[in-house]
Every structure is written in C-alpha cells, then in structure tokens.
Structure 1
Amino acid sequence: MCARAGLNDRYFRESFADRDTLLAAAWDQVRQETTATVATILADLVDTPPLAVLHRVIEAVVVNFADDPRRAPVLFGDHAGCAILERRRHDLILVATEVLATGMAPHLRTGRDRDLFRGSVLMAVGGFVELATAWRVGLVATDAMGIIDQTTHFGTVLVDYYLEGEH
C-alpha cells in the first residue's frame, strides 16, 4: 500500500497504528467535510419549508459524490470486516436520522406518533444510503438528478403524512 502511494513505510507507521486507523482517518475527513456542508445548508435555510431544505441537502450530498466519486465509497461503502468503519457508517445513519427528526419535529402533525416518525426518518436515511450505494456501483441506472428526484419524492411522501404547514 505504501509503495503504491509512493510513501516510505516509516511515515505510515509514524502516522497510523494500522490499516484500520488509516481508513478511519480517511472516513472521518470525508464525514467531517460532508456534515460541514449539511450544517451550513441547515443554518442558511432555517426559515425554509422542510421539504425544500431536504431537497437542498440531498442535492448537495449527491452532487458532491458525483463530482468526486471517491467520496461515496468512503462513507457508504461495504465495510464488512472492518469493525471501525462499520460502526462509523452505522453511527452516521443514526446521527443523520436524529438531525432530520429533531429538525422536523416542530412541524409534526398533531396526533402523529413521534416514534413512528423517527422510525420513518431512519428508514428514509438508510434507504438513501442504500440507493446512493447502488447508484455508485452501477446497479441503479440514473444520474445524480435522478437520485435527487427519487429521494426528494420519498421525502415528499413522508412530509405530506407527518408534517403540518407549508412544505
């Protein structure tokens, strides 16, 4: 691995305890950049209807992955056998779910169950990750706009059922 990258083994060992530590550092960097982009959008669109915010977030993430195809496999790749990355991927899905569910909770329709809402958001986030993964490996024949449209459509279904007010 070091020879292919043109690095001296000593430099690798000085920076990383092992391969998993290197992978975790790369994963953390991509996650940090992606979440910073999402946080900026959320802050900029605080008074925007939830569906428009969702569309903008999905668009930013998908376009970012389309512009640099190396990023999606880092966050959404099949990390079987690497416990540290499996845990990070799982935690990312839970954190994204919490951010979306908490951010949209003030708009929840009267009488809608918060736990069912949170579960639906978790399914949506997990579904987005799986859709993006399938697209990345060529199992879904569409472009970035198609992924954005599909995800936004599903968000519309959830928003119409769970949320009040202007969407």
Structure 2
Amino acid sequence: MHAQGPTGIYGGRSAEARRSDRQLRLLAAAREIWGAEGWAAVTMRGVCGRAGLVDRYFYQSFPDRDALLGAVWDQERDALVAQVVDAFVGNADGDLVGALRTVIDAVVEHLRTDPACARIVLGDHTGSAVLEPRRREMLRTFADLLVDWAGPRLPQTTDPARLRMSTLLGVGGFAEIIAAWNAGELDVDASQITEHTAVVAALLVGSHRPR
C-alpha cells in the first residue's frame, strides 16, 4: 500500500491528479443526468452519488451547482463550435451554398449522434440565470463565425446590418428546430433537417446576391 508523503503523492498519484480525476467524474455524472433529465435535475447530491464521491469533494471542484452547470455547458459548447470551425476550414475554397450545407450537415450529425449535447446547449434553459445568457452568447458566436466566413464571399455591396440580421435569423431558427427535434416534437430524420435548413440557408444567402 502506498502511503501519502510530504509531496502529496498517494497511491502513486499526486493530489492534483486526484482532484482532476474527481472533477472529470463530476462533470461526466452531471452530463449524464442533464442529458437524460434536463438541467433542473442536476443536483449536488445526485451528481456526487452518480460519480461515487462524497459531498466534500464536490466543493473542491465547484463552488456551487451553477458553476458545475456552467462548466458542463461550456464543455459541450466548445465541442459544437469545434465542429463548425472544422467544417468551415474544410470548405475554405468551396461554393458558399454548398459549404453551408456541409457545415449544417456536420452539426446535425454531431447532434444526432450525441443527443445529450443537443439537450445541453440547445434545450430549454428557462429559469437559469447561468444558462440562458450562455445560450444567447453561443448563438451570437455562431452568427459571428458565419458572418466572418461568408462576408468576404458575398458582393462588396452587401449591407453588413442586413447580413447580420439574416444570419441571426438563420442561426436562431436552426437552434429552435434542433431543440424541437431533440425534444421529439418533430417527426423527421437528420437528413430532412439538413435538407430543409440548407434550403433556407440558400434563400438567405440569395437575398444578398446582386439582382
């Protein structure tokens, strides 16, 4: 049996490594609960029980439940943003409408294979002072990415304000479709989501083409 020495090593692992492992277990447990039951079901006791940890370890990683919710949400947001950025990079020289379809398909596929991510970042966050602002900020982030990427591919006469309004309209509508789909309110498959939203995206892009 390994004893704990003055360096904090116990069982061959440092105190920092053990804290990091416990934090990851708490995040994973919270994600599982949230993905299955929604954010309101995530409690300190429930998360600790699922992670197999006593309560005091929770507060070594997070000051309160809101901090845990924010950390889980940020983790899922980062994964989704990475999907979008990778899709943009992979279509740097592609046709605008075709590239948008590829980006949409990548996001839909990510959310189809990971419905917990869809529920976490695009689900109903009503009543959470921590999550509601994050969702709004995420939609603005996606709108900014689209504007920065599509803007140079549109005519120089494109009105930036109109482009941003169109982009916010498209991003917000897409988020609501995914949320409804994930909640079982839309009886369609992933390919139908991609097809419909790509058509709408093409219409929005077309509205900024020269007549």
Q: TM-score, normalised by structure 1?
A: 0.91
Partner Cα separation in structure 1 for residue 209 and residue 71 of structure 2: 38
Amino acid at match of 2:70: A
The alignment yields a C-alpha RMSD, in angstroms, of: 1.5
Residue 84 of structure 1 and its aligned partner are, at CA, apart by 1.5
1:53 aligned partner: 99
Mapping for residues 11-160 of structure 1, pairs under 5 Å:
11-109=57-155, 111-160=157-206
Q: Aligned with 2:207: secondary structure?
A: helix
Q: Secondary structure, in 3 states, of the residue corresponding to 1:162?
A: coil
Contact 1:76 1:89 in 2 (8 A): yes
CA distance in 2, matches of 1:110, 1:32: 32
Separation in 1, partners of 2:102, 2:55: 43
Give the whole-Å Cα distance in 2 for the aligned partners of 1:158 and 1:69. Answer: 27
CA deviations 1:48-76 (Å, max 9, x no partner) are 11112211111111111111111101100
**SS in structure 2 opposite 1:95?**
helix
Flag as ranges the 4+ runs of structure 1 deviating above 4 A. Answer: none
1:53 partner amino acid: A
Q: Is 146-155 or 6-15 further displaced after alignment?
A: 6-15
Identity of aligned residues (%): 38
1:83 match: secondary structure: coil
Contact 1:107 1:163 in 2 (8 A): no
Residue 207 of structure 2 corresponds to 161
Structure 2 CA distance for aligned equivalents of residues 100 and 22 of structure 1: 30
- What is the aligned residue count? 164
Q: Which has the higher contact order (CA 8 A, sep 6+)?
A: 1
* Segment of structure 1 superposing worse, 106-115 or 144-153: 106-115
CA distance in 1, matches of 2:73, 2:151: 29
Query: Which AA in structure 2 matches 1:124?
Result: G
Which 5+ residue runs of structure 1 have no aligned equivalent? Answer: none
Q: Which structure would you say has the larger Rg?
A: 2
Provide TM-score, normalisation by structure 2.
0.73
Deviation, 1:81, is 1.6
Identify the residue that residue 55 of structure 2 maps to in structure 1. 9
Q: What are the Cα deviations for residues 100-143 of structure 1, in whole angstroms up to 9, with x where unaligned?
A: 01211123235442211210110100000001001111111101
8 A Cα contact 1:30 1:75, kept in partner: yes
Instruction: For residues 133-164 of structure 1, give each alpha carbon's deviation from its aligned partner in whole angstroms, at most 9, with x where no partner exists.
Output: 01111111101111111110101111222146
Q: Helix, strand or coil for the counterpart of 2:124?
A: coil
Gaps of 5+ in 2: 1-45
